[in-house]
Structure 1
Amino acid sequence: MIRLHTILPLAPLLGIMACAGGDEPKPDGAKPLVHPHLLLTEDRRADTIARLNDEPWATIWAKLATCAAAPLREPTPGDWDSGAHGANATVAECAATIAYLSDDEAEAEAAAQLSRAAMAVFDDNFEDNSDWDVNIRMPGPLIGYASAHDLLLAAGRLPEDEALALETKLINVTTMFWDEYLEEDVMRQITLGVSQNNHPIRTASAVGVIALAFPDAPDAEEWLNWSVSELSYLWGPTGQYVQSDGGVSEGPFYYGFGLSAAMAFFIAAHNSLDADAVFEADCRNRQDIDPWIGHGCVEGAPFTFNNPLFDPQFHAAVDWSITLRLPSGLRAPKEDGYFNPLNGGALLTGFGGAPYTRWDWENVTERPMEMSHGQNLIPHHLIYVSEQAPSEPPFLTRLMPVAGEAVFRSGWDTDARFVSFIAESGSARKTLHDHVDSTSFSLAAYGEYLLVDPGYYKPNELDNAVTSEPTAHNVLLIDGRGAPEKGLLTNFGDTDASFEQLHDGERIELAEAMMRFEDTDQRRAMIAVDGRYYLVVDRLDPDTTSPREHRWRVGGWASDEVGGAFTQHDDGATWERPLAGVRVTLASTAPGLTPTSPEFVSFEAPYVHEFNLSRDVAHHSVLDGVVNAVAPGFLAVLAPYRVGAELGEDDGPLTVTIRQQGEGWALIQVQLATETHWALSRDPDAPESFTLPDGGIITTDAAFALWSEDGGLAMILHGQSLTLDGVTLAEGDDAVIVVE
């Protein structure tokens, strides 16, 4: 039931490359099409050529030329070397793009020769493959070579025998790959079934492009049915991969890895398929276990493919990735992941997407204009990045309860302050690459990543990442334990956390998460104040009446090993790197709080991390605030500063002083450049009136209160009133009350 644009037979094409027109037969309603039809169609060629001297296309063209001239890799003898074949396919595609677009005969022919040389080293001995997860590596060789084949045919620069040889090899490899990874139930379940993530996305994208490239291949219809079924589901509203507000379950790194290959397929499908093409559902990879129960797939049911290029939810996922962008432009290393820019998001500008996706792509301190992570998309960026002027995103702080993300951002400049706070539930956390990290937070400021998510350190391929454990994150531990650790595959471990209170105001932004673990309800609020400093407020409601050890944990990117300086204080710690530092001040409503460092074990949580661009495995510094009590409350101030700025300057260190703690309440004074703020945390049975150091009387029934000394700023959390010397600063019935 697939209805493809008609693709003319190879031999006639060699003589009439650019001449086939609308008078050709139209079987089954499909319209005729000549090469190219994967990367682009002929109607885009002139416009693409016309802007090659303008930016950013001139830079992309230069990168395309560098890519085309890269040395070929010799495949490992006796193996089907996906790495070498993928690299060579990238050369072939880049060179073929130049051969098709260039009006300079010498340049075009030289590029064609480079592409043909890369094609010549491709082999179809897939039976010699030794990588069990080769499925995620198939987009490189299959998509790259198929695109190069298509482009050189369009340019009239691929001899018939070479074209047929490459087509035969690509079909042979795809057939063997399909038989092993899609037809064999055990292999399919291990690699694709339990993952439901970038693994099937990349697999379907690779197979789907081959089906589009060679629709007369014996199994092309089956390949395309499955690919479109799989990609429609995973990127759609019932696939559990993308949440309704755009969050992607496996985190920003592997989302980007899947997106790049998917973009290549979706663009090829847009160019190759009729808008009303009909497919038959292929349900072989659907799972009837949590969280995928109720997928609704009916084997063989007809459906029309709605290309995600035009789907708001697909665009929302790119927005979510941009939300998690550090001020550097690199993505935060949340879940299994590393620092990385996004490859492919800017292409949406060619399909009605927002201009800030191009801004995000261009404005990265390291690896700007990324076009290679996961899949070669250099040619795609040349063609599809819109001429619409890029602009910063219209949002700063974003509170995304379904995705389980609260991101507080002071601006889009590289010196901006940034905090990520996590509270995931359901399908947002039930995925292989998830970490047990709800209620954890990370912080960047003034050009430095300071309080860290530990990234993806996985020394044992048969086990979860060491950094997936709750003890590796900035969370509260009870008797040394957090939420349940992950098991293998679909034994997700962990527990649901959710945002119960959210507020996005002019001066105050708040997200309060609730999570139950170790027979205790924990509520943790993250509060951004003027985008300048942050408060972390923890309240506990345990089932037990016996005291236990509570560890309030935070790790920062400074140590003798990674550089910078770590200094432990009586009331917290400071992490400082070359450009910026952060002072963490910690108080408790229970007596006996002791700042300490947990036991150090090399290459184990909580010290080990792997997240920078070079993926260095190293160790950072960690602070635990330890107290033995039944239900201690915690109040922390995270105060970033610019190195070199003086005390009292806007970006300089803040003076943060604990004025009271340990008797059912904690009071902290924060001195900014022009204001003094007070933060108060109180236990449920604590007094409601307190005497301040200057003799003033503060009265509140709230679990937490914040106010400025001049009374111009006030908030209460879980209370109804806040007064200072009898003057009401805030009152109301809502859980969060803010006066600003």
Structure 2
Amino acid sequence: MRSRLHRSPLPVSSLHWTLAALALATSACGADGPGPSEPRDTGVHPRLLARPEHREILRSRVEREPYASIFATLKRRAERAYAEDPDPDSWDHLANGDNASTAQANALLAWAFDDRAAADKAREFLRRLEADWDTNTVLDINIRMAKTLMGYTNAWDLLSATPWFPAAESIEAERKITEITGQLFARYVEHDLYRDLLLRPAQNNHPIRTADAIAYAALAFPGHPAAGTWWSWSISELDYLWGENGQYVQPDGGVSEGPYYSGFAWGPTAALFIALDNALEGPLSFARDCRTRSDEDPWTGHGCVDGEQATFEPPLRGGLFTKAVDWSLTLRLPWGNRPPLDDGVFTPFNGSSLLTSFGGSGAHRWDWEQNRESPRSMEFGIDLIAHHLVYVDDAVAAEEPPLLTRFFPDAGNAVFRSDWGEEARWLLLVAEHGAARKAIHDHVDGTSFSLAAYGEYLLIDPGYYKPDALDNAKTSQSPSHNVILIDGRSAPDKGLFNNFGDADAWIRNTHDGDAVEYAEAHQDYQDTHVERSVAFVDGRYFVVGDRLATTHPAARAHAWRLHGYAGLTSGGTFELLVDGARWERTRAGVEARVQSTAPGLEVVEPPYTPLTAPHVHEFEQDRKAADHAVIDATIQAEAPGFLAVLLPYKVGADAGPDAPLEATPLEAAPGVVAWQIEGDGWTDVAVLRSQGAPGEVTLPGGQVLETDAELVVLRIDGERPFALMARGTQVLVDGAPRVTAPDATGVAVEE
């Protein structure tokens, strides 16, 4: 056995372009290898989505999988008719984005497969593109322009490599694309109102997707008078947010606005970085443009100096850009979609399999292929169908990721996972601090958790219900999450823009073991320090122990809140129990049982109003809101402790390892609560003690457990014995030590 101890519109200026060119000319002298580079017209086509040498690669692979299926998807895309603007007086991003995607598909067929009819269709779409972009009426159209600008620019680039694209048509297509880009830049970057409303406060997918779209045009059309300004602003943003010290990603890869919006930002950035890799060599030269920097916390001290010469190495083969993919992959639900953490819904990750051509592992391909609802997704956030045809490397075999349970203390996530199968038991514990929680799309969810098992999402994060576009999501405040509420709230509510609400929380005292895994979430709110422990036992069930310490001088209403995905209008069945509840869906269910170290605990359902917090959620891909059952384990006390067991089971399994588990409360002295948990050939015990409470618990078989620890979880019968304690120095059973520690400051495990 191993013992471990853990502690814990304005006229466009070309100034930036001129400065960048000067920097390139001087910095390249005497350098080893490629010097800093800038967009330039080499006369070579294609040079963005693909290079000339990719043509024969494409032609040789389309009859084998996975390329045959991708190719079929591309051809279906190419068959679409031109989509008219629904309102002839308003430029529509949806219709134009779809048309750009169709044009791109046809242009690829024309170039790679000598398809004259496809070339003619792509040309027709470019001819019909209207440049009256300023007639659009969508406030946040800036984040919806990558599909249009990248798609049409790729169509232009690919057609330029065919004999069927007359020079006059090429010039006219360039004029339209750059005219639209100029209007986009003028409104969102140069116009104070739009810039300060949608780019500066966010530092998220808004500036990223805006920069991706504008940089693509600057890269393709470097001779445009404004291209240098477009380039420097865009690369300034991408360097600041995705670069070596990127402010969008935490050092361990977590993205502050959650997996949904990080995926939305990642896809078009991948398309741009691939184009940069194809068109240029070495780091990118640019002059810093600071007009969208924020001086608000957490971005104070950004140090940006307008016009300062700088270089940026797109992190396509490493760095925070690829770390963000690994973080997202770790968070994935067992059947493939990302969880609805923060503002988000179930969604696949689009583009990670492209990394197999840039040093990425087979886990990225596996993640792309192994998705129950959206296998081989290629369109979330941006159309990457053609990219998948070019850059998925089938020489890199799909393989499961090497790690199961992982801890991201910078991001504030602890992810527990039994295996990489669709029926895995999975739990996400959230405890974000600093920049990791200070994001417009973040929720007040410190110490919350969500759980999936046996193919179902069971204990939930409520996702992204936002009926009012001018307000926060109704699911963003603490009552919509699995937290301890004190007088109805946990951490402060969030407001608009940079009024982030919430409070710093921390992942601490982690342990990744064989029979037991463990992490703590710490947070202060309502004059109370909350320490939430999660133990994942033998890949089968979870223990949640909550220890509170307060400076408040009187008893208050505490509610241990839990949201489950069943009941009311969400389908499945819900049953309220004396000491918990049971939620069940088609494949699986979960029984949650809870006790408190303070007397008088009562489990109730909070008052229900349809489509209102806390019961409302929106996380399914169809974006339909519904209501689910919620429970509160309520008590009036100063600082009560809570000990819960979360027991998932497989529907239809009446015996064996996946059948329902049996949890029995044990008699204990005041200030102490305990559970006995029984499964297929094993018996475990979990104990929670208030400070100063008696340290002895008599077990059902007559054994006596003695401890000075606050939390104990151990196996008393069965294979794979283990013992875990938090904030203690020993656990004895009938006088024999099961686990010891030199001090009581952390967590100790013997297994």
Match of 1:36 among 46, 50, 53: 46
Match of 1:541 among 546, 549, 560: 549
**Using the alignment, how far apart are the partners of 1:443 and 1:390 within structure 2?**
26
Tell me the secondary structure at the aligned position of residue 289 of structure 2: coil
Match of 2:219 among 205, 212, 215: 212
Q: Say whether residues 1:621 and 2:621 are aligned partners.
A: no
Q: In the alignment, which residue of structure 2 is the partner of 1:243? A: 250
Q: Say whether residues 1:274 and 2:281 are aligned partners.
A: yes
Deviation, structure 1 residue 310: 2.1
Match of 1:131 among 119, 135, 138: 138
Q: Deviations over 1:180-233 (max 9, x none)?
A: 111112211111100100000000000000111111111001111111111111
Deviation, structure 1 residue 113: 2.3
1:18-29 aligned at under 5 Å gives the runs none
Q: In the alignment, which residue of structure 2 is the partner of 1:414? A: 422
Q: Deviations over 1:476-524 (max 9, x none)?
A: 0001111101011001111000022111111111111110000000000
The answer as to whether partners of 2:475 and 2:613 remain within 8 angstroms in 1 is: yes
Counterpart of 2:623, as a letter, is R
Deviation, structure 1 residue 33: 4.6
Tell me the secondary structure at the aligned position of residue 317 of structure 1: helix
**Using the alignment, how far apart are the partners of 1:532 and 1:733 within structure 2?**
30
Q: In the alignment, which residue of structure 2 is the partner of 1:392? A: 400
Q: In the alignment, which residue of structure 2 is the partner of 1:295? A: 302
Tell me the secondary structure at the aligned position of residue 739 of structure 2: strand
Counterpart of 1:578, as a letter, is T
Over 3 Å counting, the alpha-carbon distance change for 1:396 and 1:33 in structure 2 is: farther
Q: Say whether residues 1:719 and 2:736 are aligned partners.
A: no
Is there any run of 5+ residues in structure 1 with no aligned partner, and where?
5-26
Q: Say whether residues 1:650 and 2:657 are aligned partners.
A: yes
Deviation, structure 1 residue 237: 4.0
Tell me the secondary structure at the aligned position of residue 586 of structure 2: coil
Q: Deviations over 1:46-86 (max 9, x none)?
A: 12221111211111111100111123211121001111111
Counterpart of 2:50, as a letter, is L
The answer as to whether partners of 1:3 and 1:274 remain within 8 angstroms in 2 is: no
Q: Say whether residues 1:708 and 2:718 are aligned partners.
A: no
**Using the alignment, how far apart are the partners of 1:165 and 1:656 within structure 2?**
72
The answer as to whether partners of 1:229 and 1:282 remain within 8 angstroms in 2 is: yes
**Using the alignment, how far apart are the partners of 2:48 and 2:334 within structure 1?**
35
Deviation, structure 1 residue 560: 3.9
Deviation, structure 1 residue 116: 2.0
Deviation, structure 1 residue 354: 1.6
Is there any run of 5+ residues in structure 2 with no aligned partner, and where?
1-18, 23-36
Deviation, structure 1 residue 725: 1.0
Which runs of structure 1 show a deviation greater than 3 angstroms over 4 or more consecutive aligned residues?
1-4, 27-33
Q: Say whether residues 1:559 and 2:567 are aligned partners.
A: yes
Deviation, structure 1 residue 276: 4.3
Match of 1:156 among 148, 160, 163: 163
Tell me the secondary structure at the aligned position of residue 694 of structure 1: coil
Tell me the secondary structure at the aligned position of residue 617 of structure 2: strand
Deviation, structure 1 residue 470: 0.4
Q: In the alignment, which residue of structure 1 is the partner of 2:25? A: none
Counterpart of 2:294, as a letter, is Q
The answer as to whether partners of 1:471 and 1:477 remain within 8 angstroms in 2 is: yes
Q: In the alignment, which residue of structure 2 is the partner of 1:500? A: 508
Deviation, structure 1 residue 724: 0.9
Deviation, structure 1 residue 436: 0.4
The answer as to whether partners of 2:38 and 2:286 remain within 8 angstroms in 1 is: no
Q: In the alignment, which residue of structure 1 is the partner of 2:483? A: 475
Over 3 Å counting, the alpha-carbon distance change for 1:101 and 1:179 in structure 2 is: same
**Using the alignment, how far apart are the partners of 2:189 and 2:668 within structure 1?**
61
Q: In the alignment, which residue of structure 2 is the partner of 1:513? A: 521
Q: In the alignment, which residue of structure 2 is the partner of 1:95? A: 106
Percent identity, aligned pairs only?
A: 47
Tell me the secondary structure at the aligned position of residue 335 of structure 2: coil
TM-score normalized with structure 1 length: 0.94
Counterpart of 1:156, as a letter, is P
Q: In the alignment, which residue of structure 2 is the partner of 1:681? A: 688
1:315-394 aligned at under 5 Å gives the runs 315-387=322-394, 388-394=396-402
Counterpart of 2:340, as a letter, is P
Over 3 Å counting, the alpha-carbon distance change for 1:330 and 1:285 in structure 2 is: same
**Using the alignment, how far apart are the partners of 1:632 and 1:276 within structure 2?**
57
TM-score normalized with structure 2 length: 0.93
**Using the alignment, how far apart are the partners of 1:591 and 1:330 within structure 2?**
41
**Using the alignment, how far apart are the partners of 2:181 and 2:136 within structure 1?**
13
Match of 1:604 among 606, 612, 622: 612
The answer as to whether partners of 2:257 and 2:442 remain within 8 angstroms in 1 is: yes
Q: Deviations over 1:611-635 (max 9, x none)?
A: 0011111001111101111111000
**Using the alignment, how far apart are the partners of 1:733 and 1:612 within structure 2?**
48
**Using the alignment, how far apart are the partners of 2:143 and 2:38 within structure 1?**
34
**Using the alignment, how far apart are the partners of 2:474 and 2:669 within structure 1?**
35
Deviation, structure 1 residue 162: 2.2
Q: Say whether residues 1:165 and 2:176 are aligned partners.
A: no
Q: In the alignment, which residue of structure 1 is the partner of 2:451? A: 443
Deviation, structure 1 residue 298: 1.8
Match of 2:77 among 34, 44, 67: 67
Deviation, structure 1 residue 3: 6.4
Q: Which segment drifts farther, 546-555 or 44-53?
A: 44-53
**Using the alignment, how far apart are the partners of 1:694 and 1:531 within structure 2?**
25
Deviation, structure 1 residue 733: 2.4
Q: Say whether residues 1:115 and 2:125 are aligned partners.
A: no
Counterpart of 1:309, as a letter, is L
**Using the alignment, how far apart are the partners of 2:227 and 2:318 within structure 1?**
26
The answer as to whether partners of 1:239 and 1:292 remain within 8 angstroms in 2 is: no
Over 3 Å counting, the alpha-carbon distance change for 1:477 and 1:28 in structure 2 is: closer
Q: In the alignment, which residue of structure 1 is the partner of 2:749? A: 738
Q: In the alignment, which residue of structure 1 is the partner of 2:93? A: 82
The answer as to whether partners of 2:566 and 2:585 remain within 8 angstroms in 1 is: yes
Match of 1:188 among 183, 195, 212: 195
**Using the alignment, how far apart are the partners of 1:31 and 1:2 within structure 2?**
16
**Using the alignment, how far apart are the partners of 1:29 and 1:95 within structure 2?**
26
Q: Deviations over 1:566-590 (max 9, x none)?
A: 0011111100001000000111111
**Using the alignment, how far apart are the partners of 2:362 and 2:301 within structure 1?**
36
The answer as to whether partners of 1:456 and 1:610 remain within 8 angstroms in 2 is: yes
Over 3 Å counting, the alpha-carbon distance change for 1:297 and 1:457 in structure 2 is: same
Q: Deviations over 1:3-42 (max 9, x none)?
A: 69xxxxxxxxxxxxxxxxxxxxxx9997945110110111
Tell me the secondary structure at the aligned position of residue 503 of structure 2: coil
Match of 1:52 among 62, 87, 91: 62
Q: Deviations over 1:592-644 (max 9, x none)?
A: 11111001122221100000011111001111101111111000000100000
Match of 1:484 among 467, 476, 492: 492
Q: Deviations over 1:276-307 (max 9, x none)?
A: 44211111111111101122222111122201
Over 3 Å counting, the alpha-carbon distance change for 1:95 and 1:359 in structure 2 is: same
Over 3 Å counting, the alpha-carbon distance change for 1:725 and 1:614 in structure 2 is: same
Over 3 Å counting, the alpha-carbon distance change for 1:614 and 1:585 in structure 2 is: same
**Using the alignment, how far apart are the partners of 1:127 and 1:447 within structure 2?**
47
The answer as to whether partners of 1:30 and 1:274 remain within 8 angstroms in 2 is: no
**Cα RMSD between the aligned structures?**
1.7
Counterpart of 1:66, as a letter, is R
**Using the alignment, how far apart are the partners of 2:326 and 2:83 within structure 1?**
37
Q: In the alignment, which residue of structure 2 is the partner of 1:9? A: none
Match of 1:141 among 148, 168, 171: 148
Q: In the alignment, which residue of structure 1 is the partner of 2:593? A: 585
Over 3 Å counting, the alpha-carbon distance change for 1:3 and 1:347 in structure 2 is: farther
